[in-house]
């Protein structure tokens, strides 16, 4: 695997590969890699002769300084995992390489960024859009791969690609889960043993809520069920539960209103904020 820390040499390398007709698959990450990331690398490898992964803990998408500081950084282990997974190129720039100054660019995604994650993490999607558009300009990928766990992010990046006419096809890859159902996340590394056990409530309640909706229960009653379930479990605090149209993230009053409704949830286990979702 070739490792680049600077934009110039990476660009030169990728332009040559593209000139030789190789399609580029791109997996942008913030590191602390886990099997969910490796699944993205595997899909990219199955569809492209060249797979590029980036690792950059992007400060502009953290609305909470302590969350940024505590975000796990495990570069040596990540490099080892990427080598074993057959990734061809790693781009791991330092902060000044990506953000030379505080940016004048401001993205506005309308209601897409004021619901769910956007409501509780102001400025988060502006930071994501800034860094992803820079990464797309630098790597110029043909395909880019994201985990389904960050569905709202996927909808926002799809909008970014559509509005700015990036020549890239986006792929959302199914969430990889631990045996007990917990969605894999770099943040899971910050959970104590006890918190790790408590965190199972997130996928378990989502699955129960999904079954209730499929069985004909109303969205209102299912949201109340989720809220009551979390209230009776100390140590874990629900931030939101929403049932939305997966295409435009608009909240639904009945599941029949959308072709593909999705249930989305965020919760704090101690200080650690986890998100998850399930399509109906
Ligand atoms: O999903 C992530 O890991 C990040 O938000 C991304 C897309 C790499 C941008 O920093």
Question: What are the tens digits of pLDDT across the range 191-209?
Answer: 999 999 999 999 999 999 9
Q: What is the pTM of this model?
A: 0.97
pLDDT tens string, the chain, 280 residues long: the values are 999 999 999 999 999 999 999 999 999 999 999 999 999 999 999 999 999 999 999 999 998 899 999 999 999 999 999 999 999 999 999 999 999 988 899 999 999 999 999 999 999 999 999 999 999 999 999 999 999 999 999 999 999 999 999 999 999 999 999 999 999 999 999 999 999 999 999 999 999 999 999 999 999 999 999 999 999 999 999 999 999 999 999 999 999 999 999 999 999 999 999 999 999 9
Q: Is 21 helix (H, G, I), strand (E, B) or coil?
A: coil
Q: How far is CA 231 from CA 80, 109, 180, 222, in A?
A: 41, 33, 21, 14
Catalytic residues: 37
Numbered ranges of CATH 3.40.50.620 in the chain: 2-173
CATH number of this structure's domain 2-173: 3.40.50.620
- Cα separation, 279 vs 265, in Å, equals 12
* Ligand 1 cavity residues, CB under 6 Å: 28-30, 58, 61, 128, 131-132, 150, 153
Which of 73, 153, 173 should be mutated for ligand 1, with most atoms under 8 A from CB?
153
CATH number of this structure's domain 186-279: 3.30.1300.10
Distance 90 CA to ligand 1 centre (A): 15
- Cα separation, 177 vs 183, in Å, equals 4
Numbered ranges of CATH 3.30.1300.10 in the chain: 186-279
């Amino acid at each position: 695997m070739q490792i680049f820390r600077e934009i110039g040499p990476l660009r030169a390398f990728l332009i040559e590969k593209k000139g030789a007709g190789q399609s580029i698959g791109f997996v942008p990450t913030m590191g602390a890699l886990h099997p969910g990331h490796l699944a993205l690398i595997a899909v990219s490898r199955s569809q492209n002769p060249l797979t590029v992964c980036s690792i950059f803990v992007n400060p502009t998408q953290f609305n909470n300084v302590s969350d940024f500081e505590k975000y796990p950084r495990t570069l040596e282990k990540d490099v080892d995992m990427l080598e074993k997974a057959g990734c061809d190129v790693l781009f791991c720039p330092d902060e000044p390489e990506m953000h030379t100054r505080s940016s004048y660019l401001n993205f506005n995604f309308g209601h897409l960024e004021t619901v769910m994650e956007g409501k509780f993490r102001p400025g988060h999607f502006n930071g994501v859009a800034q860094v992803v558009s820079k990464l797309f300009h630098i790597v110029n990928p043909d395909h880019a791969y994201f985990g389904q766990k960050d569905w709202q992010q996927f909808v926002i990046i799809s909008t970014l690609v559509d509005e700015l006419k990036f020549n890239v096809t986006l792929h959302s890859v199914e969430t990889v889960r631990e045996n007990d159902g917990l969605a894999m996340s770099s943040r899971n590394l910050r959970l104590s043993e006890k918190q790790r056990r408590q965190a199972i409530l997130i996928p378990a309640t989502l699955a129960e809520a999904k079954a209730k909706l499929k069985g004909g229960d109303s969205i209102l009653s299912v949201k109340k069920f989720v809220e009551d379930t979390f209230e009776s479990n100390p140590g874990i605090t629900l931030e939101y539960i929403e049932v939305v149209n997966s295409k435009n993230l608009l909240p639904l009053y009945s599941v029949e209103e959308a072709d593909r409704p999705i249930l989305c949830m965020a919760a704090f286990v101690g200080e650690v904020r986890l998100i998850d979702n399930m399509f109906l």
